[in-house]
């Protein structure tokens, strides 16, 4: 009987220990996210941040390795752009108060954070993504934004206008956020995607596109997309970066 009670006690302690390690991002917004005010001339703008936590903190791995993913989801899939337009928040205390009030009320962003929490706690996937689907989204971040006066192509990577933001009706929050993180992590180190992008730009100059400027730009964008989409080294980079972050990403990558 005493042996049975001991077994039950051990099981209860293990259950309590497992429950205590459950991650709930919503309950830890103030620990994970911060905001600071930036000044540009006479104007001030709030800037979201991801805080640096101690290694002993259960959320350390989430914030340390996935800062870009969290910030990308926050800036693209929360109401922060509307919040940043609010005037009259001058002092730091008021800014912090309003920021966390806004954050707790943001249902769309909260839903995304819940999915990450569920993945960390239960290994729950919300979707299966093929390497072609992932590379499709990631390739659109290598963008030809225009043609200069000398007729050379002008390119940009990730931020602002790109092949994904240009089509707002199609959204893949976690794939987009991961793609940005993977690209930035390897932009000028690792597989050096910067060099590959430059090589692609140089190849564009060898191709005879339409004489019409607008049509030529569209064709160049399509060619750059295909150059990155069919780039095996780029695909290998995405797979490698997924392996590093799969504990928090709520999609399964099918290679």
In a domain, 7, yes or no: no
In a domain, 33, yes or no: yes
Please state the φ and ψ torsions of residue 66, each to the nearest 5 degrees. Answer: -130, 30
Instruction: Domain of residue 74: give its range.
Output: 24-122
Q: Do 71 and 94 lie in a common domain?
A: yes
Q: Do 144 and 109 lie in a common domain?
A: no
8 A C-beta contact, residue 135 and residue 141: no
**Domain boundary, last residue among 87, 122, 157:** 122
Q: Do 145 and 250 lie in a common domain?
A: yes
Q: Do 37 and 100 lie in a common domain?
A: yes
Task: Give the integer Cα–Cα distance in Å for 207 and 249.
Answer: 39
Q: Do 75 and 107 lie in a common domain?
A: yes
Q: Do 133 and 113 lie in a common domain?
A: no
Average pLDDT for 125-134: 95
Q: Note the pLDDT tens digit of each residue in 153-206.
A: 999 999 887 888 777 778 899 999 999 999 999 998 888 899 999 999 999 988
In a domain, 13, yes or no: no
Q: Do 99 and 36 lie in a common domain?
A: yes
8 A C-beta contact, residue 177 and residue 68: yes
* CB-based contacts of 220, cutoff 8 Å, min separation 6: 144, 147, 153, 204, 207, 209
In a domain, 104, yes or no: yes
pLDDT of residue 19: 42
**Count of structural domains within the chain:** 2
23 — pLDDT class (breaks 50, 70, 90): confident
In a domain, 234, yes or no: yes
**Domain boundary, last residue among 70, 94, 122:** 122
Query: Computed over its alpha carbons, how large is the radius of gyration of the chain?
Result: 22
Q: Note the pLDDT tens digit of each residue in 46-105.
A: 889 999 999 999 899 899 999 999 999 999 999 988 888 776 666 778 888 889 999 999
In a domain, 9, yes or no: no
pLDDT of residue 45: 82
Q: Do 83 and 185 lie in a common domain?
A: no
Does the structure show a pLDDT above 70 at 13? no
Task: Give the integer Cα–Cα distance in Å for 86 and 120.
Answer: 34
**Domain boundary, last residue among 90, 122, 154:** 122
Pairing relation of β-strands 142-147 and 153-157?
Answer: antiparallel
- Selection from 7-21, 40-54, 133-147 with the highest mean pLDDT: 133-147
8 A C-beta contact, residue 32 and residue 51: yes
pLDDT of residue 249: 96
138 — pLDDT class (breaks 50, 70, 90): very high
Q: Note the pLDDT tens digit of each residue in 196-247.
A: 999 999 999 888 899 898 999 999 999 999 999 999 999 999 999 999 999 9
In 3-state terms, the chain is what percent helix, strand and coil (to 5)? Answer: 55, 15, 30
Q: Mean pLDDT lowest for which of 7-21, 33-47, 176-190?
A: 7-21
In a domain, 11, yes or no: no
In a domain, 219, yes or no: yes
Burial (Cβ within 10 Å: 0-12, 13-18, ≥19) of residue 92: exposed
Residue owning tokens 């180190």: 189
8 A C-beta contact, residue 80 and residue 74: yes
């Amino acid at each position: 009987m005493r042996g049975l009670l001991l077994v039950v006690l051990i099981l209860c302690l293990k259950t309590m220990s497992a429950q205590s390690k459950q991650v709930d991002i919503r309950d830890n917004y103030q620990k994970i996210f911060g905001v600071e005010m930036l000044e540009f001339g006479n104007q001030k703008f709030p800037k979201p941040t991801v805080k640096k936590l101690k290694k002993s903190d259960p959320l350390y791995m989430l914030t340390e390795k996935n800062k870009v993913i969290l910030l990308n989801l926050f800036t693209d899939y929360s109401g922060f752009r509307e919040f940043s337009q609010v005037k009259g928040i001058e002092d730091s205390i008021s800014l912090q108060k309003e920021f966390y009030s806004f954050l707790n009320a943001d249902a769309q962003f909260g839903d995304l954070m819940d999915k990450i929490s569920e993945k960390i706690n239960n290994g729950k996937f919300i979707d299966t993504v093929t390497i072609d689907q992932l590379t499709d989204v990631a390739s659109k971040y290598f963008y030809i934004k225009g043609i200069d006066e000398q007729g050379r192509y002008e390119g940009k990577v990730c931020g602002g206008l790109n092949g994904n933001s240009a089509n707002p009706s199609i959204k893949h929050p976690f794939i987009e956020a991961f793609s940005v993180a993977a690209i930035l992590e390897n932009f000028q180190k690792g597989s050096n995607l910067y060099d590959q992008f430059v090589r692609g730009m140089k190849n564009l100059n060898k191709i005879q596109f339409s004489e019409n400027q607008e049509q030529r730009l569209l064709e160049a964008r399509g060619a750059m997309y295909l150059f990155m989409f069919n780039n095996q080294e780029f695909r290998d980079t995405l797979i490698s970066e997924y392996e590093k972050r799969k504990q928090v990403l709520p999609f399964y990558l099918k290679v």
